[in-house]
Chain A
Amino acid sequence: MAELDKRHAPHILSDRLLATVWATLVCLTAITIAVARIDLGFYNILAALSIATTKALLVIFFFMHMKYEHALLKWLLFLACVVLAIFIGLTFFDVAFRLQVRS
């Protein structure tokens, strides 16, 4: 850990960069509300989740500084996402087909 410290002098994010991220997040919020007013059926959920994921990545990589962290943290984040995807993905292999059988 001490070696990791030495290679990474504190990286300071400028207020301007943070303000740009903030403005993008506000715009995406407006877009997601606007898109929800149009009836796209299933694609409404898809659009909402894609925009939410984009917003989440902006928060993680800039506000939470992940873009400037060492590889260990990035891999751990990736691992956490994979675990979550397995939870949700495998559950849907069950849930989705169960309903088909019933109806």
Chain B
Amino acid sequence: MIEAHKDYAGAKLGMWLFLFTEVVLFGGLFLLYSAYLHRYHLDFHHAARNLDTFLGGANTIILITSSFFMAMSITALQLGRRGRCLGLLALTVLMALGFLANKAIEWWAKFEHGIFPGSEHLRALPQGEEIFYSLYFAMTGLHGIHVLLGVGILSFVMILVRRGRVRQEDFVILENSGLYWHLVDLIWIFLFPLFYLIT
């Protein structure tokens, strides 16, 4: 019988290297944000006042909690409790969907006020405010795509756990998906204060 080669440490190293490229991707956008915050700090303060701190704060708690469920699901699988692991993963995905629903409500409210990329209303605003909203849509949008991908990945991992492809003795796929999910949480931890709390 041929046994497939497993390289646990290598799999995790590869995942972390990928995460570093993600950090640099968002790092570039954060750099852009901070350079413009420096140049147009008054406009940024005015524009940030229109963002809903309650919705932003709620989304922060949602993501932190989903990360907590994700970490617990790994513990559950390591202890051989597959049902509990699946339940916790389902909760993680549910919270991710909640985050997206929240985000959709928030963006919709902005659209209703005529604030969307390239809109007349946005072009009439002071330049700093226009840049703030452009960065807001670009960065929360890119982050939202990551959340959506996370939903897909975690749902796929749920199938793998169900079928026993990911199990107590071989769980690196679950762990790496968890790392991805925590990174999504990490990015939001910085996005939230920078966009919602600088009023």
Q: Can you list 19 contacts pairing A with B, beta carbon distance less than 8 Å? A: A2-B7, A15-B75, A18-B71, A18-B72, A22-B64, A22-B65, A22-B67, A33-B57, A36-B53, A56-B186, A59-B67, A59-B182, A60-B186, A63-B178, A64-B179, A84-B27, A87-B24, A91-B35, A92-B34
B8 touches A96 (CB 8 A): no
Distance of A52 Cα from B31 Cα, bound (Å): 16
Indicate whether A95 sits within 8 Å of B72 (C-beta atoms), given known contacts A22-B65, A80-B20.
no
Smallest CB-CB separation from B36: which chain A residue? Answer: A95
B31 touches A91 (CB 8 A): yes
Majority DSSP secondary structure for residues of B touching A: helix
Q: Mark A41-77, 1 if CB is under 8 A from B, else 0.
A: 0001100110110011001101111000110110011
Q: Are A88 and B75 in contact (CB under 8 A)?
A: no
CA distance A65 to B182 in the complex (A): 11
* Interface assignment of B109: CB less than 8 Å from any CB of chain A: no
B residues with a Cβ closer than 8 A to A are: 7-10, 12-13, 16-17, 20, 23-24, 27-28, 30-31, 34-35, 37-39, 53, 57, 60-61, 64-65, 67-68, 70-72, 74-75, 78-79, 175, 178-179, 182-183, 185-186, 189-190, 192-194, 197-199
> Which 3 A-B residue pairs are closest in the complex by CB-CB distance?
A48-B193, A36-B197, A22-B68
Q: Is the interface of A mostly helix, strand, loop or mixed?
A: helix
Contact among A26, A59, A95 for B61, CB-based, below 8 A: A26
Q: List 4 other contacts, CB 8 Å, given A36-B199, A56-B189.
A: A32-B197, A52-B189, A52-B193, A95-B39
Asked if A4 lies at the interface with its beta carbon under 8 angstroms from chain B, I say yes
Which A residues contact B (CB, under 8 angstroms)?
1-2, 4-5, 8, 10, 12-15, 18-19, 21-22, 25-26, 29, 32-33, 36, 44-45, 48-49, 51-52, 55-56, 59-60, 62-65, 69-70, 72-73, 76-77, 80, 83-84, 87-88, 91-92, 95-96, 99
CB contacts between A and B, total, < 8 Å? 124
Shortest CB-to-CB span from A101 to chain B, Å, is: 13
B9 and A59 contacting across the interface, CB-CB below 8 Å: no
Which B residue's beta carbon lies closest to that of A102?
Answer: B39
Q: Is the CB–CB distance between A12 and B194 below 8 Å?
A: no
Q: Report the Cα distance A19→B74, complex, angstroms.
A: 14
Which of A1, A29, A56, A92 has a CB less than 8 Å from the CB of B190? A56
Min distance, Cβ A86 to any Cβ of chain B, angstroms: 11
Closest partner residue, chain B, to A80 (CB atom): B20
Tell whether, in the assembled complex, residue A72 and residue B13 are in contact, meaning their CB atoms are under 8 Å apart: yes
Report the minimum CB–CB distance from B98 to chain A (whole Å). 16
> Given A36-B199, A95-B39, is A73 in contact with B16 using a C-beta cutoff of 8 Å?
yes
Chain A residues with CB under 8 Å of B13's CB are 1, 72-73, 76
Partner of A49, one of B27, B182, B193: B193
Give Cα A41 to B105, complex, Å.
31
